């Protein structure tokens, strides 16, 4: 079997040596073929880098299973072909943006040239920009589509390519599968039109920045609180990424005047020299910013990931120690603040709504119910939040939506998660809390006392390469066919299988259909005592993800630390039940 695979791989690599590829690419392919260790050769060619429903993402390098100008070229030609079919006889316009990663500018310019070679008008950002601004620009400039070259918060070896539709959201059905079909029809490098038409490429930048920032500056619900706390000391780091271009400006436009940077992390580079991983979900990524906060005695720390769509924050607890706030807690703070202020300002008219993903804390649902505001559950990923927004456009007013993975969207003029607006909003929440004699830590405790304590833990099991993908598939199959009967001693009462769109109520002994737009490879288990566990393979990384949420009562803030410790023990017990210990 392995010999057959190696033979197939060598044949595929030979096509690259014989084909219309540049000299550097051919030299790199030959080096792989000449290497006695065939591991890298196999990983680079054993399959084609799949254009999935989220676009492309992979390790950079030569080969059909790597991010390079040829895989980006095939994706862009396929998307161009679909746009030309879908919008026959119309002027077609697209936006092209990119992040700070190595080769991102090259890939963006390659895509711009291919779109223009196909007669499509291109608005190409002059330099790196936050992903949410690309979503905004598609809507603002009246485009039918757009792409952003980014691998979000993946390690430095990765890059990616996200495709958007006319509403500024990542593509979903039917466009996603139709685009994939067109991309799969590109069988040769000769099918790709690489020679661009400069007349169809327009460089954009500050003209779009200014409109985007102006709209964000109007989101404020507590301008007086900001005015009274304008000197609040905020440490911000872009972690070498695109947030540096807009977030400090946005904070200042909003009224915050005391922004402290982390100079070493202002360096815009895809090498991410100060972090192992540029992911604000990981404590190490915020370590330098927290040290800076201690040095200057800051009020809070905020960090955005390389494409500035995710936000991580750190705050002081009541002992003056710096702690990290997880994505569920941040989303909870946002929703609680937005609904409280909308209610206080008389803006809740009965036609507003919020959105969360199925793996995000149920605290958000509890808060929404308290304010009598409808909430929608959707699949993981902001394209699904955007789909809910699209369905409700003109019928209901969007207030906000978020997910546990540090993404939030506080406005309807963008259709992807947005760290630019999230940064200014969390600063506003802090200013409002301070105005009311509280810290953000106090506010988190207040929410838990009102709605019950909830602790969430995300666990990712990494399984790399071809063998890893097979292991993940096997693990999902095992959980589906042999679900846990109890978690931490509490019986499982409900199983939701989004792969079959079935909900099994074990207490009632009945099965019902889940109302979702399509199937997804996600399993959820709910127990008698309120524990929720979600299991799914990552769509962008070689991981299987487990999302654990446990519930405990919290009578008052004085019990917070004891209840938090008890919840930690409960999470460990749930992990053990899942075989993760």
- Tell me which long-range contacts 351-355 makes (C-beta under 8 A, separation of at least 24): 351/395, 351/396, 351/397, 352/396, 352/397, 352/398, 352/399, 353/388, 353/392, 353/396, 353/397, 353/398, 353/399, 354/398, 354/399, 354/400, 354/401, 355/385, 355/388, 355/389, 355/398, 355/400, 355/401, 355/402
Is 358 within a domain?
yes
Assign residue 90 the CATH number of its domain.
3.40.120.10
* Residue 436 burial (10 A CB sphere; 0-12, 13-18, 19+): exposed
Last residue of a domain, one of 417, 451, 485: 451
C-alpha span between 319 and 351 (Å, rounded)? 42
pLDDT at position 47 is 92
For the chain, give the mean pLDDT.
Answer: 96
* Of 427, 49, 394, residue with least CA distance to 217: 427
DSSP E strand boundaries for 166-272: 201-204, 234-237, 259-261
DSSP three-state, residue 284? helix
First CA to last CA distance, the chain: 34
Tell me the per-residue pLDDT of 225-239, one tens digit each, with 9 for 90 and over: 999 999 999 999 999
Residue 387 pLDDT exceeds 80: yes
Residue 496 pLDDT exceeds 50: yes
C-alpha span between 545 and 460 (Å, rounded)? 5
Residue 465 pLDDT grade (very low, low, confident, very high; cuts 50, 70, 90) = confident
DSSP three-state, residue 203? strand
pTM (2 d.p.): 0.94
Q: Are residues 447 and 458 in the same domain?
A: no
pLDDT at position 51 is 87
For residues 323-351, give the mean pLDDT: 97
Is 28 within a domain?
no
Q: How many domains does the chain have?
A: 3
Is 559 within a domain?
yes
Residue 1 pLDDT exceeds 60: no
Is 38 within a domain?
no
Q: Are residues 257 and 302 in the same domain?
A: yes
Q: What is the Cα 565 distance to its own chain's centre?
A: 29
Q: Are residues 413 and 486 in the same domain?
A: no
Q: Are residues 244 and 326 in the same domain?
A: yes
Q: Are residues 447 and 457 in the same domain?
A: no
For residues 332-351, give the mean pLDDT: 98
Do residues 536 and 545 make contact, with C-beta atoms less than 8 angstroms apart?
Answer: yes
pLDDT at position 540 is 66
Last residue of a domain, one of 451, 471, 495: 451
For residues 239-267, give the mean pLDDT: 98
DSSP three-state, residue 102? coil
CA separation (Å) from 338 to 156, 247, 327, 353, 359? 35, 21, 16, 11, 21
Give me the torsion for CA of 29, 32, 33, 34, rounded to 10°. 120
Q: Are residues 471 and 326 in the same domain?
A: no
Helix axes 327-344 and 440-451, enclosed angle (nearest 10): 80
Q: Are residues 407 and 308 in the same domain?
A: yes
Q: Are residues 270 and 197 in the same domain?
A: no
With a CB cutoff of 8 Å and minimum separation 6, the contacts of 467 are none
Is 234 within a domain?
yes
* Of 60, 64, 25, residue with least CA distance to 44: 64
Q: Are residues 176 and 325 in the same domain?
A: no
Is 75 within a domain?
yes
Tell me the per-residue pLDDT of 537-547, one tens digit each, with 9 for 90 and over: 987 678 899 99
Do residues 259 and 246 make contact, with C-beta atoms less than 8 angstroms apart?
Answer: no
C-alpha span between 238 and 432 (Å, rounded)? 24
Share of the chain above pLDDT 70, in %: 99
Host domain of residue 236: 217-451
Q: Are residues 298 and 426 in the same domain?
A: yes
Is 26 within a domain?
no
Residue 40 pLDDT exceeds 50: yes
Do residues 76 and 115 make contact, with C-beta atoms less than 8 angstroms apart?
Answer: yes
User: Tokens 């969007």, residue?
Assistant: 398
Last residue of a domain, one of 204, 227, 251: 204
C-alpha span between 26 and 14 (Å, rounded)? 9
DSSP three-state, residue 504? strand
For residues 257-277, give the mean pLDDT: 97
Lowest average pLDDT, out of 5-14, 97-106, 183-192, 540-549, goes to 540-549
Residue 400 pLDDT exceeds 70: yes
* Of 309, 298, 302, residue with least CA distance to 265: 302
* Of 421, 422, 252, 437, residue with least CA distance to 330: 422
Tell me the per-residue pLDDT of 179-218, one tens digit each, with 9 for 90 and over: 999 999 999 999 999 999 999 999 999 999 999 999 999 9
Residue 2 pLDDT grade (very low, low, confident, very high; cuts 50, 70, 90) = low
Lowest average pLDDT, out of 296-305, 462-471, 487-496, goes to 462-471
Q: Are residues 231 and 351 in the same domain?
A: yes
Give me the torsion for CA of 423, 429, 431, 435, rounded to 10°. 180
Q: Any idea which residues carry the catalytic annotation? A: 152
For the record, the structure tokens of 339 come out as: 């609904």
Other CB atoms within 10 Å distance of the CB of residue 274: 18
Q: Are residues 262 and 397 in the same domain?
A: yes
Residue 394 pLDDT exceeds 70: yes
For residues 344-350, give the mean pLDDT: 97
Assign residue 491 the CATH number of its domain.
3.30.310
C-alpha span between 94 and 559 (Å, rounded)? 54
* Residue 20 burial (10 A CB sphere; 0-12, 13-18, 19+): exposed
C-alpha span between 322 and 298 (Å, rounded)? 10
Is 32 within a domain?
no
């Amino acid at each position: 079997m392995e010999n057959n695979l190696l033979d197939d791989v060598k044949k595929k690599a030979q096509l690259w040596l014989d084909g219309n590829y540049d000299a550097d690419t051919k030299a790199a392919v030959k080096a792989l073929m000449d290497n006695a260790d065939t591991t890298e050769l196999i990983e680079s060619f054993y399959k084609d880098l799949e254009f999935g429903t989220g676009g492309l993402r992979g390790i950079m390098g030569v080969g059909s299973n790597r991010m390079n100008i040829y895989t980006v070229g095939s994706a862009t030609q396929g998307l161009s072909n679909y746009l030309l079919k879908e919008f026959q006889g119309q002027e077609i316009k697209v936006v092209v943006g990119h992040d700070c990663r190595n080769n991102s500018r090259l890939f963006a310019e390659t895509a711009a040239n291919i779109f223009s070679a196909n007669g499509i008008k291109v608005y190409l950002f002059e330099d790196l920009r936050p992903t949410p601004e690309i979503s905004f620009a598609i809507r603002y400039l009246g485009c039918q589509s757009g792409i952003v070259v980014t691998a979000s918060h993946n390690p430095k070896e990765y890059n990616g390519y996200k495709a958007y539709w006319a509403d500024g959201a990542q593509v979903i059905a039917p466009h996603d599968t139709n685009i994939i079909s067109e991309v799969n029809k590109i069988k040769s490098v000769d099918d790709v039109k690489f020679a661009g038409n400069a007349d169809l490429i327009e460089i954009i930048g500050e003209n779009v920045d200014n409109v985007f920032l102006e709209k964000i500056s109007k989101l404020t619900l507590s301008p007086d609180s900001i005015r009274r706390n304008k000197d609040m000391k905020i440490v911000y780091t872009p972690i070498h990424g695109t947030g540096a271009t807009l977030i400090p400006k946005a904070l200042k436009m909003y009224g915050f005047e005391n922004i402290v940077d982390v100079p070493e992390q202002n360096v815009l580079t895809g090498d991410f020299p100060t972090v192992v991983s540029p992911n604000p979900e990981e404590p190490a990524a915020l370590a330098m910013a927290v040290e800076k906060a201690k040095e200057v005695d800051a009020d809070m720390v905020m960090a955005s990931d390389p494409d500035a769509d995710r936000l991580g924050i750190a705050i002081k607890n009541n002992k003056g120690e710096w702690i990290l706030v997880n994505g569920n807690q941040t989303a909870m703070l946002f929703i609680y603040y937005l609904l409280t202020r909308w209610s206080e300002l008389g803006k809740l008219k009965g036609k507003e709504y919020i959105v969360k993903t199925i793996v995000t804390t149920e605290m958000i649902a509890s808060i929404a119910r308290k304010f009598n505001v409808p909430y929608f559950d959707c699949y993981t990923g902001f394209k699904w939040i955007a789909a809910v927004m699209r369905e409700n456009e003109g019928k209901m007013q969007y207030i906000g939506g978020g997910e546990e993975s540090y993404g939030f969207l506080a406005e309807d003029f963008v259709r992807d998660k947005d760290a630019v607006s999230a940064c200014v909003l969390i600063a506003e929440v802090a200013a409002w809390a301070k105005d009311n004699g509280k810290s953000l830590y106090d506010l988190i405790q207040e929410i838990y006392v009102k709605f019950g304590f909830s602790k969430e833990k995300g666990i990712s099991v990494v399984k790399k390469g071809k063998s890893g993908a097979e292991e993940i598939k096997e693990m999902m199959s095992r959980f589906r066919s042999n679900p846990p009967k109890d978690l931490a001693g509490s019986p499982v009462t409900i199983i939701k299988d989004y792969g079959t769109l079935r909900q099994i109520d074990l207490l009632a002994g009945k099965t019902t259909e889940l109302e979702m737009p399509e199937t997804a490879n996600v399993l959820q288990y709910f127990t008698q005592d309120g524990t929720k566990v979600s299991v799914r393979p990552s769509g962008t990384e070689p991981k299987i993800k487990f999302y654990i949420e446990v519930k405990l009562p919290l009578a008052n803030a004085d019990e917070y630390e004891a209840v938090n410790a008890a919840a930690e023990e409960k999470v460990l017990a749930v992990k053990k039940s899942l075989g993760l210990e």
